[in-house]
Amino acid sequence: MSGENVKKATPGYHGRYLRIDVSSGSASPVARAVALPADFLRKYLGGSGLGTALLLAEGTATADPLSPAASLAFVFSPLVGSPLTTSAKFAVVGKSPLTERINDSLASSGFALAGKRTGHDALLLTGRAAELSIVVVDDDQVRIEPAGELAGLSTRETERRLRERLGPEFQTATIGPAGERLVRYATISHDGRHAGRGGSGAVLGAKNIKALVVRGTRRVEWADPPQLIALAKALSEKSFGPATAKYRELGTATNLLTFNRLNVLPTRNFQQGSFAGAAAIAPEQLSVARERTRSSCAACTIGCEHLYGVKQGGGSVRLEYENLFALGPLCAVDDPDVVLEASRRCDDLGIDTISAGGTIAFAMECVERGLIDEPWLRFGDGESMLRALDLIGAGEGLGRRLAEGSRRLAREIGQGSIEFAPQVKGLEIPGYDPRGLQTMALGFAVGTRGADHNRSGAYEVDFSDAVDRRSVGPESAVLAVETEDKAALMDSLIFCKFLRGVFVDFFAESAEILRAVTGWDVSAGELRQTAQRIVTAKKRFNIEAGWTPAEDTLPGRMLNESPSDDPRARLTHERLSALVEAYNTARGWTPEGWLPADDMARDAASPGLSLGAAGT
Amino acid sequence: MPISASVMQVDVELFGIPRARAGTSKTTAEGSCLGDVLADLARRFPALAEACIDGRSLRPSYTANLGGRRFVTAPETPLLEGETVLLLSVDAGG
């Protein structure tokens, strides 16, 4: 395969993606470079946006996500490889086996840099290998190698072995045992970080691919290097300022005590909004008794990662708010050693901590109610939580049922348990109680990926004086749209969301950056439209996958009960419905959420991409 | 007998960076409005002032909440006797 026939690419891009059919085996893997026209790239940019458009073109929306026909795209962005802080990121885009809707999960660091240097803006896998294998993309060379000896290995050990086998300059995105066993919330891991939500790891596992390994030497051009360097320098300087101090100095885990005080810390499967044991597992306490170190992704000046020493077995584990809440208060576990150990096991198995904690907490409540006959699994019993994680990883006993996620487990159990399964569209709810953060409730309900704090930043509205967070009205819908659009653009450019506070006018500043990268005469207004188009493309994917308006809601518990410790935090079905309708109207969709005939993303389903046009 | 105007006191709870800068999780402060309380805290906790407070206002990355009920930023926001003011980072991203 060669790129000689490729028209000169837009700066920031290679102007093509690589489509790899892993079914063809090691003898003759089918890898075709597909041209990406500049106007198509300008409409969808990269990351989540480009990935969604590619998946629409592939017809993945109607495929079984665990079938060979379902494609999975590793997508880079125009900013990857630039000197811009936090730009070394990639998106993994596919159809979620957990939600059966669009899934775009992001991760960071060397894989993004090396992946883009292969000379492609995205690497798209389809098909299914006959045996457990790895895919190696080395510039234009693609090979599929058997990987039976990696079966059952942790994400960390797999990465170590592949570095040993191929050399340190190769970068690896790998699944753990959970991905091999098709746990529906399995992750794809790189360098200890995870494309975490929605089960991309199971999609890769279903293809019999243990890892995608990349190395490359091709660099893109920049349209205006001096301006790009100046903008990058200014952004880096701002990234050292107060807007990121929380992440840099304390990490996201410091949310725990704040959320606890505001009664929005999901506890005991969302029965409470505060946790008596919060102080014991808060980072302020953890750092007193344990070694704490900091780390950062490649090309990042924030350095938000805080790693805590683990007593059992030594080493350290990254601690974020989400794994802390899900493996702590949500399961009523207040033993810091257990929470840290549980986080490490999730990392090694390659499973999403939020979905793991959410599903286990749901099962704990089912045990309390006599709906599951596993009396050993109890709220507050850390050892039982660890045992449940082990069973999920091993695919044994109750673990097989937990591996399906809370929605499927509730459907299997019946007896009204779906009312307290902590999920939206099948994706377990992150650590923001929607009854006390009601703009966020709307963001969860309408989220194309399900309950998701990364695709909707609506909690920002609730943490402001713009609304009464426990009783928001339809006026908050416009604010929710704004945060969702910002997230769509950040996930497509791609920038880390922890940078958002440093931008004064995010769309205008992004336009200035994109002009320097690509040479396009792009404006803030155009980027607003681009963000809306990307959100619309995700909605279009979901509609093709079978979405109905009934999905855009919250579990019955959130609409019928308040947290026991905050009776004022009350949301009703009628009020949420009004919010959803206001949101749909603000988006220019029908009040029920259907797209108009002339929706902005209608071209994404038939973009005219010509397979093989860039040479094979 | 001289009549002296009573000085209103409020409780203050600090989270995240405000807590780290002040070196304490709780304190009390004097003032009948948010701006007064911030000015009092700034006088007593210089490191907190440098990072989080600009005169009688919070810097953009920080916010205040009254008793867990209501987020406020306007310095003239009136406070009730015995009110609890929370100081925290505006960014709640996890």
Task: Write down the H helix ranges in A474-523.
Answer: 476-493, 506-518
CB contact at 8 A, A439 and A462: yes
Contact A187, A88 (CB under 8 A): no
pTM over 0.90: yes
Nearest-by-CA chain A residue for B24: A284
State yes or no: pLDDT of A446 exceeds 80.
yes
Cβ distance B92 to A460 less than 8 Å, yes or no, reads yes
* Residue B8 DSSP code: P
Closest CA to A334 of A414, A274, A376, A390: A274
What pLDDT was estimated at residue A608? 56
Asked if B72 and A465 come within 8 Å (Cβ–Cβ), the reply is: yes
Question: Of A289, A306, A278, A276, whose CA–CA distance to B15 is shortest?
Answer: A278
Given a cut of 50, whether residue A188 has pLDDT beyond it is yes
Number of A/B CB contacts below 8 angstroms equals: 89
pLDDT bin (cut points 50, 70, 90) of residue A593 is very high
Q: Which of B17, B68, B74 sits opposite A245 (nearest CB)?
A: B17
Q: Nearest-CA distance from B4 to chain A in Å? A: 35
Chain B contact probe: residue of A197, A240, A244, A246 with most B CBs at under 10 A = A246
Q: Which of A8, A11, A15 is nearest to A37 (CA)?
A: A15
For A31-44, write each residue's pLDDT tens digit: 999 999 999 999 99
Cβ contacts (< 8 Å) between A563 and chain B: which residues?
none
Asked if the model's pLDDT at residue A47 lies above 80, the reply is yes
CA distance B3 to chain A (A): 38
The arithmetic mean of pLDDT across residues A276-290, rounded, is 91
Distances (CA, A) of A597 to A57, A446, A455, A540, A590: 18, 20, 25, 11, 10
The CA-atom distances, in angstroms, between A7 and each of A3, A35, A38, A156, A611 are 9, 9, 10, 40, 15
| Mean pLDDT, range A142-148, rounded to an integer | 96
Find, among A451, A411, A450, the residue nearest to A429 by Cα: A451
| Contact indicator for A390, A342 with CB cutoff of 8 Å | no
pLDDT digits over A161-172, tens only? 999 999 999 999
Predicted confidence (pLDDT) per residue in A378-416, tens digit: 999 999 999 999 999 999 999 999 999 999 999 999 999
Q: Mean pLDDT, to the nearest integer, of A432-447?
A: 98
- Return phi, psi of residue B65, to 5°: -140, 140
Strand partners, A214: A137, A171
Q: CA angle at residue A201 from A73 to B91, to 5 degrees?
A: 85
Shortest distance between the Cα of B10 and any Cα of chain A, in A, equals 17
Contact A465 B19 (CB under 8 A): no
CB contact under 8 A, A242 and B59: yes
Which among A155, A66, A68 is positioned nearest to A393, based on CA atoms?
Answer: A155
Q: Which domains does chain B have, with CATH numbers?
A: 9-89 (3.10.20.30)
**Which residue in B20, B52, B86 is closest to A261 by CB distance?**
B86
Query: pLDDT per residue over B21-68, tens digit each?
Result: 999 999 999 999 999 999 999 999 999 999 999 999 999 999 999 999
Burial string for A211-245 (b: 16+ CB within 10 Å, else e) reads bbbbbbeeebebbeeeebeebbeebbebbeebbbb
pLDDT digits (tens, 9 = 90+) for A513-561: 999 999 999 999 999 999 999 999 999 999 999 999 999 999 999 999 9
Residue A476 pLDDT > 80, yes or no? yes
Determine whether the interchain pair A453/B94 forms a contact, defined as Cβ–Cβ distance below 8 Å.
yes
pLDDT at position A26: 58
Helix axes of A506-518 and A524-545: crossing angle, nearest 10 degrees? 90
pLDDT-above-90 percentage for chain A: 91
- Asked which of A53-62, A69-78, A152-161, A289-298 is least confident by mean pLDDT, the reply is A289-298
Averaged pLDDT, A254-275: 97
The H or E element that residue A143 is part of is strand A141-146
- Rg (chain A; Cα; Å): 23
CB contact under 8 A, B93 and A259: no
Are B51 and A242 within 8 A, CB to CB? yes
Residue of A nearest to B15 (CA): A258
Residue A307 has pLDDT above 70, yes or no: yes
Min Cα–Cα distance to chain B from A326, Å: 12
Spatial distance between the Cα atoms of A471 and A4, rounded to a whole number of angstroms:
60
Residue B63's closest chain A neighbor by CA?
Answer: A464
Using 50, 70 and 90 to split pLDDT, how confident is the model at A28? low
Average pLDDT of span A64-72? 98
pLDDT at residue A277 in the model = 98
Examine the pLDDT at A595 and tell me if it is beyond 70. yes
- Per-residue pLDDT, averaged over A80-91, amounts to 98
Provide, as residue numbers in chain B, all residues whose Cβ is less than 8 Å from the Cβ of A325: 94
